[in-house]
Chains A and B, each alone.
Chain A
Amino acid sequence: AQSVSQHNHHVILSEAASLELGCNYSYGGTVNLFWYVQYPGQHLQLLLKYFSGDPLVKGIKGFEAEFIKSKFSFNLRKPSVQWSDTAEYFCAVNRGSARQLTFGSGTQLTVLP
């Protein structure tokens, strides 16, 4: 069965620090990869997605993610976080032809002002 792992459950950073959240998946075939964000009290919003082409994907609010096929990873990065980035971040994967989106368990990011 396909699985998605987010090893960092809770990350605490100060403003202006750099961020990298890990995401690894287990499926070896063609995959589509997503990062969603859930701000406190809000619903999930798409940050960025990858399906082919340049493995470095840029999303909204200064976030980017790099797909490394050999490592089955799709890590999320931001050079300088802001207090407003405090949220829960979910990595999600689906196979090229499948309808189901498999989510990781999420990483809670707390940015201290």
Chain B
Amino acid sequence: NAGVTQTPKFRVLKTGQSMTLLCAQDMNHEYMYWYRQDPGMGLRLIHYSVGEGTTAKGEVPDGYNVSRLKKQNFLLGLESAAPSQTSVYFCASSYPGRIETQYFGPGTRLLVL
């Protein structure tokens, strides 16, 4: 099993450009999450999904959109990138249960100039 994979690993954007980050998991997990990691701030939840076709806002959703058309994929979109979105983006997935353990992908490093 590959676990949680993310594409691309690294990307440079100019302000105003758009892009989509792809997260895929092969563990048949119901829940998927997108976080951003910034120095000194830990990980902050952007959006999450509790099932195919459903999404919800997390702590810092502004400037991002998501879609979960297939259970195994969770896409994060930036419609008009801003320098403040320079960050490392992590996707995670989990299976619903008494206590969920989230499994993380390797991250996507995004630089917005």
Chain A residues within 8 Å of B, Cβ to Cβ: 4, 6, 9, 32, 34, 36, 42-46, 49, 51, 90, 92, 94, 99-106
Identify which of A9, A51, A94, A103 contacts B43 (C-beta below 8 A): A103
CA gap between A109 and B15 in the complex, in Å: 35
Total residue contacts A-B, CB cutoff 8 A: 53
Q: How far is the CB of B32 from chain A (nearest CB, A)?
A: 11
Q: How far is the CB of B24 from chain A (nearest CB, A)?
A: 14
- Asked if A101 meets B42 with Cβ closer than 8 Å, knowing A43-B90, A43-B107, A44-B90, the reply is no
- Please give 4 more A-B residue pairs, beta carbons under 8 A apart, in addition to A90-B42, A94-B100, A99-B48: A42-B106, A43-B90, A46-B103, A105-B40
- B58: which A residues are within 8 A, CB to CB? 100
Q: Which residues 69-99 of B have a CB within 8 angstroms of A?
A: 90, 92, 98-99
- B50: which A residues are within 8 A, CB to CB? 99
With an 8 A cutoff between CB atoms, is B34 at the interface? no
Interface range for B: 20 to 34
Q: How far is the CB of A60 from chain B (nearest CB, A)?
A: 13
With an 8 A cutoff between CB atoms, is B59 at the interface? yes
CA gap between A104 and B44 in the complex, in Å: 9
Indicate if the CB atoms of B45 and A46 lie closer than 8 Å: no
Between-chain CB contacts (< 8 Å), 18 pairs = A34-B101, A42-B106, A43-B107, A44-B90, A44-B92, A46-B103, A49-B99, A49-B101, A51-B99, A92-B43, A94-B100, A99-B31, A102-B59, A103-B42, A105-B40, A105-B41, A105-B42, A106-B42
